[in-house]
Amino acid sequence: MSTIRLQKLLSEAGVASRRAGEALIRAGKVEVNGHVITALGTKVDPARDMVAVDGVPIQPRRKLYLAVHKPRGHVCSRRDEKGRPLLGDLMPKEWAHCYPVGRLDRESEGLIFVTNDGEFALRVAHPRNEVPKEYVAEVTGRVDRRRLGRLQTGVEDHGELLQARAVRVLDTNNTRSQVAVELAEGRNREVRRMFAVLGLEVTRLVRVRIGPIQLGELPAGKWRMLTDIEVKTLLAKK
């Protein structure tokens, strides 16, 4: 049996925010299995308990797990004061309650998850869980493996130690190089900052993998549902 706080269920069902849900509970407007509930600590099982607000039964929203190929130029925010294209613009409007798991900066591309499941988002995005993320960076000039080795040892930028789990050269010539970089944490603009310390400019950055999930052939601007197996794999404890 999986139980959650009543105000969280109200929020996930789209009835009210958690704070507004607490107000509904205090006001005696929420019933569980026919009984008025006023205690904020009450937990319910969404699969078994019948919850109603003002006598109207509610249904929890279906949990959604999407893999999206974010194009360059889109912003990973639900709103943007500058009117730039949003990640949410790529998906149906009825999924506006979903949100991105982590971030990709506006100039970066590639795989990002979108969900309405807070526990899933925390599991994938929190640094302590060390879900690996792999990027392919196109940089100016020829790179050598010895210099790239510093990224695994760790480089310092503005007082932060930035360190890659793995680095490998995919292609290189005198004008440009492609390098695969795997990170465990994914701090703000980390890949770009790491290469800047080495004196290399990143001209294109694509995230190609999160955990075991590959971007694969998913076209830019498109999305797909994660399978049940993929979701379970990402939620699995180490």
Contact 139, 195 (CB under 8 A): yes
pLDDT at position 196 is 94
pLDDT at position 3 is 86
- pLDDT at residue 145 is higher than 70: yes
Q: Where in the chain is the domain with CATH 3.30.2350.10?
A: 132-210
- pLDDT at residue 212 is higher than 50: yes
Kindly name the residue from 49, 80, 89, 105 that is annotated as catalytic.
Answer: 105
pLDDT at position 238 is 59
Question: Which band of pLDDT confidence, cut at 50, 70 and 90, is reported for residue 237?
Answer: low
Q: Where in the chain is the domain with CATH 3.10.290.10?
A: 4-57
Query: In three state form, how does the secondary structure of 128-147 look?
Result: HHCCCEEEEEEEECCCCHHH
Cα–Cα distance measured from residue 140 to residue 128, given in angstroms and rounded to the nearest whole number = 33
Dihedral angle at the C-alpha atoms of 10, 13, 15, 16, nearest 10 degrees? 60
117 tagged catalytic:
no
pLDDT at position 1 is 47
Q: Which CATH architecture has domain 132-210?
A: 2-Layer Sandwich (3.30)
Cα–Cα distance measured from residue 42 to residue 3, given in angstroms and rounded to the nearest whole number = 10
Q: Where in the chain is the domain with CATH 3.30.70.580?
A: 65-128+216-235
Question: Which band of pLDDT confidence, cut at 50, 70 and 90, is reported for residue 11?
Answer: confident
Write the pLDDT tens digit of every residue in 12-22.
Answer: 888 888 899 99
Write the pLDDT tens digit of every residue in 78-118.
Answer: 888 888 999 999 999 888 888 999 889 999 999 999 998 88
Contact 10, 21 (CB under 8 A): yes
CATH topology of domain 4-57: 3.10.290
Write the pLDDT tens digit of every residue in 29-84.
Answer: 999 999 999 999 899 988 889 999 999 999 877 889 999 999 999 999 888 888 89
Q: So what CATH class is 65-128+216-235?
A: alpha beta
Task: Specify the pTM.
Answer: 0.82
In the chain, DSSP finds a helix count (H) and a strand count (E) of 6, 17
